[in-house]
Structure 1
């Protein structure tokens, strides 16, 4: 498989990264205080912000602020400040299973991201050298798997409350763009297991997800424990949401998209460093162009992905 062309790479060399964790944020009403990791380039000012939401995987620590190093480090080394919370569904936490939002804590996950944006002053104070370097007008969200669902909620996706049927709207207007990685799809294609254990998924409505977003899905990501629709299910956030949206379908990619949740992760069934590199560059490029009007990074990355003799995937937009 040919390597992506140089146009897929960020234009500047990576800079050293400072990563600080845990930064503990007060969270009244939450089961535990909110802990986050902050990764930032050691130089630069007016830095855009990325909120990175982890998935709900089998590992003990990847689904926490300690996971997703391939994404967090790359994006921080190329000019973003990346903030990663440990959501309440993380296996690093042992919580009362009687919580009505358990086991996935889908509403609380979106609330975590809002808390982070509410407490950027505290985050700046807690991370040496960060004060005054954030551009709070340029905020994006990235999520993988269940984290992709969290990102979609912040971008405008809605649910119906299972008890009274009212609409649940968790959209966050401070977030200007997002990237959904292997995110869940429509509610009428759930597996029996998902329908019984995660019934809130059955009410998902992408028609209100109006914020610009990139959806990245693998064409081998069948996810039979979640859906009967096969790999196409993960394209639903693109197909069922209004534009502007883009969809990247990665060839031969499974749910791990090559290994985005961590370096050398045994549960990644499709480990492929080249594929991870493509996800890194595509994510960076899309958010650069989404946050900086006129930036050509996204077009260059698309050309690199599809223009090789053996492309890594395909791209469509609306």
Structure 2
């Protein structure tokens, strides 16, 4: 274990976490009702909320409410309520390609998150141990890969709908901070022909309107060659092309899975590294804790731990 990981490692077992799913939120007008997983600490009140958007990996179940346990459970152990929807593009639903909004469900994904915030009372009622414990004034969004794109839209990024040419604004002001994990970058000539043909909405992504505070996490070996011609730097675009306040965490040696954040022992992870996953989970929760609670020192302490020792796992820059 490196000095960085040792400095960030917990000194005792984490507190117990409850995880309940699927919780079904009736959703008129949606192809199927919205299913979510809720993970939370067993104790504590006034808990901030993280909405976690899954990516579109090769596994059948990680891209759903059943994925991303390495992040969700640690975040919950550190005092967050983590809510994970199964978006309409999840393979677990088996929806036909002509389902309204597909392919892919870039708009419905963001709408899922807004729907969850609208239905927090119903969610508390469906999970009695949560009753009265959520702090609705502290809501963040996080997402990996395609989920990072979803998070960027909720934080203020915009695009032009390729079907009707209208500018789309899906920002939700109730979400006040976010984490973008291996998120897509800018469009235009940064995209491959495959992306232009199959993900035309990426062409017009505009980060200049993404004003909410966010941490962008990118691997310096994440070339995503089927999506972009720009290599790993593409995933830093949400940081470089958006206004502050923003921070960029660059992970050394990390590929698109960032060490395996989508699930324990996931076969699709090309850079499996449990130490890196732990670092991502702990650094992101520290960032969100400080972003949602002004004056909290967790993010600065986490940055200091990352920089300590001769072999840091990454570096942070901010603006």
**Structure 2 length normalisation: TM-score?**
0.97
- Give the match for residue 171 of structure 1: 171
1:9·1:301 contact (CA, 8 Å) conserved in 2? no
- Which residue in the other structure is 2:198 paired with? 197
What is aligned with 2:56? 56
Match of 1:84 in 2: 84
SS in 2 for 1:4: helix
Q: Is the 8 A contact 2:39 2:83 kept in 1?
A: yes
C-alpha distance in structure 1 between counterparts of 2:5 and 2:182, whole Å = 24
Matched with 2:96 is 96
Aligned to 1:293: 294
Is the 8 Å Cα contact of residues 38 and 82 (structure 1) preserved in structure 2? yes
SS in 1 for 2:201: helix
Map of 1:135 onto structure 2:
135
Task: Report the Cα offset of residue 7 of structure 1.
Answer: 5.2
Distance 1:234 1:101 in 2: 25
C-alpha deviation, 1:192, in angstroms: 1.1
1:208-227 counterparts in 2 under 5 A?
A: 208-227=209-228
Q: Which moved more, 1:163-172 or 1:182-191?
A: 163-172
Matched, 1:149 2:149: yes
SS at match of 1:83: strand
In the alignment, is residue 243 of structure 1 matched against residue 222 of structure 2? no
Counterpart residue number, 1:34: 34
Superposed CA offset, 1:235-258 (max 9, x none): 000000000000010000000000
Q: Quick one: structure 1 residues 49 and 19, their matched pair in 2 at CA, closer, same or farther if it must change by over 3 Å?
A: same
Q: Name stretches of at least 5 consecutive residues in structure 2 with no aligned partner.
A: none
Which whole-Å CA distance do the structure 1 matches of 2:244 and 2:13 have between them? Answer: 32
Instruction: Quote how far apart the aligned CAs of 1:173 are.
Output: 0.4
**Counterparts of 2:301 and 2:88 in 1: how far apart (Å)?**
38
**Residues 212-266 of structure 1: CA deviation (Å, up to 9, x unaligned):** 0000000000001110000000000000000000001000000000000000001
* 3-state secondary structure, aligned to 2:43: coil
Q: In the TM superposition, what is the alpha-carbon distance from 1:2 to its structure 2 partner?
A: 1.4
Helix, strand or coil at the partner of 1:223: coil
Q: Secondary structure at the match of 1:48?
A: strand
**Equivalent residues of 1:8, 1:300 under 8 A apart:** no
CA contact (8 A) 1:10 1:285 kept: no
Measured in 2, the distance between the counterparts of 1:117 and 1:305 equals 33
Residue 5 of structure 1 and its aligned partner are, at CA, apart by 5.8
Name the SS of the counterpart of 1:168 in structure 2. Answer: strand
Where structure 1 has 5 or more consecutive residues not aligned to the other structure, the ranges are: none
- TM-score, reference length from structure 1: 0.97
Tell me how many residue pairs correspond in the alignment. Answer: 318
Shift of 1:97: 1.2
Counterpart position of 1:18: 18
- Preserved CA contact (<8 Å) 1:159 1:167: yes
Partner of 2:130, secondary structure, is: coil
Q: What is the CA–CA distance in structure 2 between the aligned matches of 1:181 and 1:92, rounded to whole Å?
A: 22
